[in-house]
Structure 1
Amino acid sequence: MLAVHTSGHVNWSIISKVENYLYDLRLLMTMEQSIDDKIIIIDIDEKSLANEGQWPWPRDKLAQLINRLFDDYQIRSIGFDAVFAEAQANNSLNTLSYLFKKGLFDETQYQNLRLELDHDQRFSEALIARDAVLGIVFKHSIYDQQTNGELPAPLASLEILNEVKNDLYYGTGYAANLAILQQASGFGGFFDYIRDDETLRKVPLIQYYNNQIYPSLAFELARISLNQPAIEFQLSGNQQSTLRSLEFIKLGDYKIPVDQTGSVYVPFRGKQGSFTYISATDVLNQALPIDALSGKIALLGTSASGLLDLRATPVGKSYIGVEVHANIVSAILEQRFKHAPGYRLGIELFSLFILAMLMSFIFPFLQSIGAAVFIISLTSVYCALNLYFWHWQNMIFTLATPLFFIFISGFLHLNYNFFVEQKKKRRLSKVFSQYIPHELVTDFDSNQAEMSLAGENRIMSVLFTDVRNFTNMSEKMTPTELTVLMNEFLTPITHCIHQQQGTIDKYMGDAVMAFWGAPINDEQHASHAISAALNIIIQMDKLTRAFKAKNWPEIKVGIGIASGEMSVGNMGSEFRIAYTVMGDTVNLGSRLEGITKMYGVDIIVSENTKILASEFIYRTVDKVKVKGKDLPVTIFEPLGLFEQLNETTLANLAAYEAALQLYWQSEFAAALEQFETLNSTSPCLLFTIYIERCTLYRITPPALPWDGSFTHTSK
């Protein structure tokens, strides 16, 4: 359960909440608690509102603020934590236009006065040739796709991140700045936050809209402050990997670690106030020393409580939003980010495995006091390692899941009753003795072999065997004779399966279904299944000779074997259950048994079975599309081990495989000649089938494109 949570397939809210708490605790314990003097915040504070009027201010006042900052105080760059999406209402322009129409001004006077009174124009002129980043907001609801204003130039086309675009955040609409302002500035970045819960821990550095990638306000401000270095997006893994994700964004020599969504953990320097706040009114009124802001990176934001730019963060429940951007800019310049690398999942799962080994092989042998000391020590060591990677390597690894595992495992071990364990073992032995050989049950009891009744998916092999023409035989026998006959051939079949450690699934009249790989793991399941099948054919030949002496009918069986993933476990209803297997592989095994008689062979196996049991020699039977399958499968007949076959058999096999290759290459005349030669020396139904097909295809070739397969419509 905890491994599944760690892998991200299931999210257990209680673990996530504890993980967030521990993240916040580590952050608070290790913050620098210093002030970055490279970055300042031009604050629309209560003092500024009192002196300059309520926000938003007239655009001419903003133009004056920009000119003061760049011309008088020589700042490096500025970012606006605000959007100027609409033109400023200006009654003076309306009055001027009215007076011009009345003839009170000539054209030159009118244009000069208009430029003087057009505050948007004055603001745009103040932005020209200045390193100023305007703010934009992306919308993220399919129900809100409205657009307003003009977007800045994108960072890049989404094509360069096309293989990971599904992981990135994207906008459905946007609120951007007036075209006159955006064109004057040339730079823009979004400042909308996307959060998994109420606390802001991560923010995206990039988003995309309309197949174009756009930067965040902080990212773009850092970029222009570094003289716009080249941008590079680095993905995890290599180009052949199918599970790639975005891992780094580079700004020249500056490397920013991101997660798969293009987000960063906000690198808080400390609690609120980690940057110098300058009242905007002091800038406007030149109340600061002339060199106080020289070369600084500025952010225009607000701390005034009435403007509600507050966020819940790990370092404060009412944290001023603009300082979040300042922390990110600062961390980019100082290369001070925490990173959850793409390979951390493997490390975390390996850590859980190591903890599981320690809890399984050491903890059960400790007494109560020793067990308590062991849990405390193990917890302390793991926390110390986690904190080491956090603080000195800037790497984030989960902490809650391993701690949950240690405490839950310890609790279960301490409360596990020996007598309950023994009772469970006896119950399992009794249940499994109905399914598998007694020797395996004994092995399980004595050696604690891995065994489970729980439903699960496993790579296994399944075998189906059926007596041919059994219906015709049964009609000629009395019920008593039929019962004796069935017991005579089902017993050796069962014995052959048990000899190879197989599990009998069910008897279906004259048919038997068995599987290998459960309930006890069997790495050689395919080899054991084929060995059992070959032995069944031998035993049926012996049985036929014995039946002949009793004047009983000949027993011929067909066997189908398939290997692959299947579901295994107790299945059924509340009234009756059975330990059985299900899935496409099981169905394929049944279909293969059904077509053995069509080819005149005793055993047919799937290609997976052949690959898994490579020690046997096989004859390729055909490429077929069995009922219920759209894609062709290659089927084979196992002949035995190499040392069991004579030279004549191997030579005939090589000639047959060569003829079959000619057939698949549509060389029907050449294939026909070889199949006829083989059939003349060793007649069999399989050769006859290909002779008939080649003869037909020479006259009426199969439709192109032809994959060489034959479609079976019956089971």
Structure 2
Amino acid sequence: MKLFRNSWISSLKKLPRAYKGRLMAFAVLFGLSVLNLCSEWPHGIPRPALLDTYDNILPDTFGRPRQLLFDHFQRWFPRIPASEPVTIVAIDDRTLAAVGQWPWPRNKLAALIDAIAAQKPLAIGLDIYMPEADQTSPDKVADNLPPSAASLITGLRALPSHETVLARALRAAPSVLGAAASDHATADTSTDMRSAPILVHGGSPLGSVERFDYVLASLPELQAAAHGQAMLNVALEQGTVRRIPLIMGLGNKLVPGLPIEMLRVATRSPMVEVFAGTSGVRAVGVADVQVPTQPDGEIWLHFASIHSTQNRYVSARDVLQGQVAADRIRNKLVLVGLTGTGLPDVRATPLGEQVPGIEIQAQIIETIFDGRFLQRPAWIKWGESAFIMAFGLLVIWYLPRTDSRFAALIRRVPKASAMLGITLNLLSLLVCVLLFRYFGLLVDAASIFIIGSAVMGSFFSTAILDDDAKNKRDMAHAQAGDREKSGTGKIFDGALARWKRIHRTSK
């Protein structure tokens, strides 16, 4: 048993140096390539359940570096706005100081919508949802009065509710109400909402898009009055917004995101179109506009710096007071949202900026108008994997060859291998940066760097083991030589002593 264990341990020790280290390098290449594929499994291919177990056990070795790399691409080359289709009417600190704290009575919000609509915008999107009745409405106030105030109660009940006033404003304007999808039921959520028809070209994309069971939407009276309903959800990854769904599922139906629904209302289109295939959603369109998407209906948003978009903001207070130039709103897509201090709707972007949530929606619309889309289609992942495998196999085949020019170069210049590795990684990074800069393609240089470095590093580890073994052999030969030399010396010394004794006797 002991002999078998020693043999097994000896075989394991020899394994890293088997086939000049090629076996070890191939195991590293194959294992890391599988993990890389698991971190971003392509749509349209069933994902083995075993990979979910790996996700729970192993850290996300490739996902986080990929995200950070793409963030840096955007920081190096942020989008420069080429058009100004959006105006944001901000409920900011000045507005809150003049009108009062949020939430407002619905009749005040109706007055703001009327003031915006008077300037003839193409559409008005509200980054606001109102699932509860306004408790300051005249009928609600009447409910809280004592019976002795009968005449006042009668007068209040004769007035229209604040919901009625707001519904009238929404009906008269090209308005779109926002809603928030949720996985959890609350007292204010429902399982459905009014939304425009969606025409699907191709197979049903419900299995590919993100789906929710519940929605936090405005009151049915307000939904019926508005010209459109849309989701406000964004995709958060480690607290940062990188991708935004243009389409998603609510139960068994598709519903649009706010930007695409605003375009539908602005163009007076009867429906939103979704173009899907076997791998999921390919594009979402309105009228003659088609936006290429990821298979799950999301887009990677190319952000512009908040410093370059400040001109799109006007204060809601100035709108209410008639102090905003008409061309700031006329023929614009107007978003109404909260930006005041202390209001919670703040998002982090890949540029490292904290921006109001309404800014995210504005940047999506602006990106669609500019036609500056970031794309990471499924073939890019397969292309990366093929390149990594091809490059890794080339390294595995060529690097251990002792008769190659590279081996000769390494013997002459020991640092040449490190210099070559750095050069190759910088070259791959440069190619990925150029593809981002000029074509908007997101290519993952981080995975190429990690896997390529690990494969080359495995050979260096093997070389270290070989050097260590060689040093041990040299030391063993040297010690044996010393022992041999020591024995010969003793014989010689003895012979010399005997010769001296004989020589003295003869004299």
| Normalised TM-score (structure 2) | 0.73
Shift of 1:290: 3.2
Question: Are residue 63 (structure 1) and residue 105 (structure 2) matched?
Answer: no
Structure 1, 180-189 or 312-321: larger mean CA deviation = 312-321
Give the one of 91, 98, 116 matched to 1:51.
98
1:381/1:309 Cα in 2 relative to 1: closer, same or farther (>3 Å)? same
Which residue of 2 is the match for residue 18 of structure 1?
A: 65
Question: Are residue 192 (structure 1) and residue 233 (structure 2) matched?
Answer: yes
Q: Hey, what's the Cα distance between the residues in 2 that align with 1:362 and 1:400?
A: 23
Unaligned runs of at least 5 residues, structure 2: 1-30, 39-50, 401-405, 470-507
Q: Hey, what's the Cα distance between the residues in 2 that align with 1:60 and 1:89?
A: 12
Q: Hey, what's the Cα distance between the residues in 2 that align with 1:184 and 1:411?
A: 65
Shift of 1:96: 6.2
Which residue of 1 is the match for residue 87 of structure 2?
A: 40
1:246/1:289 Cα in 2 relative to 1: closer, same or farther (>3 Å)? closer
1:101/1:154 Cα in 2 relative to 1: closer, same or farther (>3 Å)? farther
Give the one of 448, 451, 455 matched to 1:405.
451
CA contact (8 A) 2:129 2:179 kept: yes
Q: Hey, what's the Cα distance between the residues in 1 that align with 2:223 and 2:202?
A: 25
Which residue of 1 is the match for residue 34 of structure 2?
A: 4
Question: Are residue 177 (structure 1) and residue 218 (structure 2) matched?
Answer: yes
| 1:238-637 equivalences in 2 (<5 Å) | 244-271=279-306, 274-275=309-310, 276-364=312-400, 365-366=406-407, 367=410, 368-417=414-463, 420=466
Give the one of 137, 147, 152 matched to 2:194.
152
1:86/1:272 Cα in 2 relative to 1: closer, same or farther (>3 Å)? farther
Q: Hey, what's the Cα distance between the residues in 2 that align with 1:149 and 1:343?
A: 36
Q: Secondary structure at the match of 1:288?
A: coil
Shift of 1:135: 0.8
| Normalised TM-score (structure 1) | 0.53
Q: Secondary structure at the match of 1:340?
A: coil
Q: Secondary structure at the match of 1:267?
A: coil
Q: Secondary structure at the match of 1:246?
A: strand
Shift of 1:414: 2.7
Q: Hey, what's the Cα distance between the residues in 2 that align with 1:371 and 1:189?
A: 56
Percent identity between matched residues is 22
Shift of 1:406: 2.1
1:114/1:314 Cα in 2 relative to 1: closer, same or farther (>3 Å)? same
Q: Secondary structure at the match of 2:273?
A: strand
Q: Hey, what's the Cα distance between the residues in 2 that align with 1:96 and 1:375?
A: 78
1:362/1:229 Cα in 2 relative to 1: closer, same or farther (>3 Å)? farther
2:159 partner amino acid: R
1:374 partner amino acid: L
1:288/1:418 Cα in 2 relative to 1: closer, same or farther (>3 Å)? closer
Q: Which has the higher strand share?
A: 1
CA contact (8 A) 1:149 1:178 kept: no
Q: Hey, what's the Cα distance between the residues in 2 that align with 1:421 and 1:346?
A: 38
Q: Secondary structure at the match of 1:308?
A: coil
1:305/1:382 Cα in 2 relative to 1: closer, same or farther (>3 Å)? same
Shift of 1:273: 5.4
1:201 partner amino acid: R
Q: Hey, what's the Cα distance between the residues in 1 that align with 2:229 and 2:458?
A: 56
Could you give the per-residue CA deviations for residues 137-162 of structure 1, whole angstroms, max 9, x where no partner exists?
A: 11124x66963497122443889753
CA contact (8 A) 1:189 1:214 kept: yes
Could you give the per-residue CA deviations for residues 419-451 of structure 1, whole angstroms, max 9, x where no partner exists?
A: 74999xxxxxxxxxxxxxxxxxxxxxxxxxxxx
1:292 partner amino acid: R
Shift of 1:2: 2.4
Q: Hey, what's the Cα distance between the residues in 1 that align with 2:434 and 2:203?
A: 33
Q: Hey, what's the Cα distance between the residues in 1 that align with 2:200 and 2:206?
A: 7
Structure with the bigger RCO (C-alpha within 8 Å, sep 6+) is 2
Q: Which has the higher helix share?
A: 2
1:363/1:41 Cα in 2 relative to 1: closer, same or farther (>3 Å)? farther
1:43/1:146 Cα in 2 relative to 1: closer, same or farther (>3 Å)? closer
Q: Secondary structure at the match of 2:296?
A: coil
Which residue of 2 is the match for residue 131 of structure 1?
A: 174
1:5 partner amino acid: L
Q: Hey, what's the Cα distance between the residues in 2 that align with 1:114 and 1:148?
A: 29
Could you give the per-residue CA deviations for residues 305-348 of structure 1, whole angstroms, max 9, x where no partner exists?
A: 21111112212352211111111111122222111112222211
Could you give the per-residue CA deviations for residues 327-371 of structure 1, whole angstroms, max 9, x where no partner exists?
A: 111112222211111222221111112321442344443413332
Shift of 1:403: 0.6
